């Protein structure tokens, strides 16, 4: 999809992810060193580039393409790359609840004080557990 659509989504959302409410960045508008500085990610730290990639703005289908969702702006929202790739088959509501639980548990990589490759090892088991929980349980926990 053209970068114009992503730029429109970014501007409409104020650059904020629809699932975790983190600030994102557009690679077409912000240089990598500037984005690292803005997010407080020390350049050269192991895992720094991965941490930055998780914050990259991406277009997310509200109704998944696999479920018949259209590839038009009416079915798209802005998501950080982490939330977009982590969604899987979850509904937007279930996925947002899951991301908020990861944030509350201090396991969402875009809501960490440190940018370390170790974060991957910490949030992946929690994400698997949250994904398998029914939405009813997630609503009560959030």
pLDDT for 61-78, tens place per residue?
999 988 999 989 999 999
In Å, how far are 4, 14, 26, 92 from 111, measured between CA atoms? Answer: 28, 18, 18, 19
CA distance 98 to 91: 10
Does pTM surpass 0.85? Answer: no
CA distance 60 to 48: 24
Which pLDDT tens digit goes with each residue over 11-61?
999 999 999 999 999 999 999 999 999 998 888 888 888 889 999 999 999
In Å, how far are 69, 81, 108, 119, 125 from 91, measured between CA atoms? Answer: 12, 17, 18, 25, 20
């Amino acid at each position: 999809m053209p970068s114009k659509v992503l730029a429109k989504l970014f501007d409409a959302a104020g650059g904020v992810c629809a699932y975790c409410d983190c600030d994102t960045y557009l690679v077409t508008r912000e240089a990598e060193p500037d984005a690292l500085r803005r997010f407080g990610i020390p350049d050269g730290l192991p895992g720094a580039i991965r941490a930055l990639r998780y914050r990259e703005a991406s277009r997310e289908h509200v109704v998944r393409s696999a479920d018949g969702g259209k590839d038009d702006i009416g079915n798209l929202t802005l998501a950080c790359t982490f939330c977009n790739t982590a969604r899987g088959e979850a509904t937007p509501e279930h996925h947002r609840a899951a991301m908020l639980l990861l944030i509350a548990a201090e396991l969402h990589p875009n809501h960490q004080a440190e940018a370390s490759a170790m974060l991957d090892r910490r949030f992946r088991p929690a994400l698997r557990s949250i994904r398998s929980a029914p939405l009813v349980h997630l609503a009560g926990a959030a």
